[in-house]
Amino acid sequence: MTPLPSQSDTPLVRVHDLSVRFAGTPPVHAVNNVSFDLAPGEVLGILGESGSGKSVTLKTLLRLLPERKTRITGTIEVDGQDVLSLQGRALADHRGGVASMIFQDPSLALDPVYTIGQQIAETVIRHEGASKTDAMARALEMLELVRIPSARRRLDNYPHEMSGGMRQRAMIALALACRPKLLLADEPTTALDATVQIQILLLLRDLQQELGMGVIFVTHDIGVAVEVSDRLAVMYAGSFVETGSVRDVIRDARHPYSKGLLAANLVGAVPGTRLDAVPGAPPALSALPEGCSFAPRCAHAEAACSASPIPVWTGGDGRWARCVQASRAEAMAGAGGRS
């Protein structure tokens, strides 16, 4: 498959032709030929409906999927390391040291039987070999960084002794404790009240700038995606169908799926705006159609949309859309311009 335009010569993350299949009868094609780069300090928002493969993409970057039933092909490089070949100590260093992840549900990251201070300190000891005193000092520093009030007292709290928003901050403190270069955020604000959601988004944006991290933020909330991202990738049925700067995608979407989503959802988009109102439903990931997976739902579909490969329209600055119609429209505009 032709590599798609990249944003940076020295990316922090380079994913090429990534596919993830789960064994089963029939197998589930959760991620299909996904390629993208992420520059250091850049925020990529992956926007897509429920079940489009966003979480699986993130988990693959951290190698969190069950190995026995998962087949991964393609390549993933993070900070120059070939992630799919990491083993043992190198894999442990990757998870939590180079890259770490925050979730919608903080109980996936926080252990109920240890205090917040113990959990952060333990991570720092494990990754950096720090002394207990230094690790506890780092834990306090992290709780202050994520603006938890009375941070020193909170070190001794168990997760259940904190409010939902506070637990989310504690999970972020834990994820950032070893200063990762890459933060993977899996809908970290979706379950929160609107006010707390905005506070956590603002916190994440500040921390990203302060620490200069690359962030991949997956969401099905357009308002959130626009708020936090530099670049957007629209994901549909396990594939990226369009990417570009937030501004370009919002102003001038080229894929009919992105157009439909944005037309239906963008007016006054604020966090809390869900993806809906594109008629029809996505295909089962165990029975993807040949060619463009969106074709059965697309008002502009034609015979060429059911054949592979689907042509890719490319603009400047890492901008592209995989669509027969978008490619043809550009070719015709080019021919018209030359005549």
Chain residues that interact with ligand ATP, rule: CB under 6 A: 22, 28, 30, 48, 50-56, 66, 220, 285
Calpha distance 295→311 (Å, rounded): 14
Q: How far is the CB of 17 from ligand ATP (least distance, A)?
A: 18
300 three-class SS? coil
Of residues 48 and 271, the one with the C-beta less far from ligand ATP:
48
Of residues 55 and 197, the one with the C-beta less far from ligand ATP:
55
Q: How far is the CB of 95 from ligand ATP (least distance, A)?
A: 17
Q: How far is the CB of 185 from ligand ATP (least distance, A)?
A: 12
Of residues 35 and 157, the one with the C-beta less far from ligand ATP:
35
Of residues 117 and 283, the one with the C-beta less far from ligand ATP:
283
Calpha distance 99→127 (Å, rounded): 12
Of residues 165 and 282, the one with the C-beta less far from ligand ATP:
282
Q: How far is the CB of 51 from ligand ATP (least distance, A)?
A: 5
Calpha distance 301→283 (Å, rounded): 15
CA distances from 17 to 115, 147, 159 (A): 41, 39, 39
Calpha distance 96→149 (Å, rounded): 25
Q: How far is the CB of 219 from ligand ATP (least distance, A)?
A: 8
Calpha distance 221→207 (Å, rounded): 21
- Residue 232 contacts residue 249 (beta carbons within 8 Å): yes
User: Hey, what are 275's tokens?
Assistant: 């993806």
- Residue 236 contacts residue 294 (beta carbons within 8 Å): yes
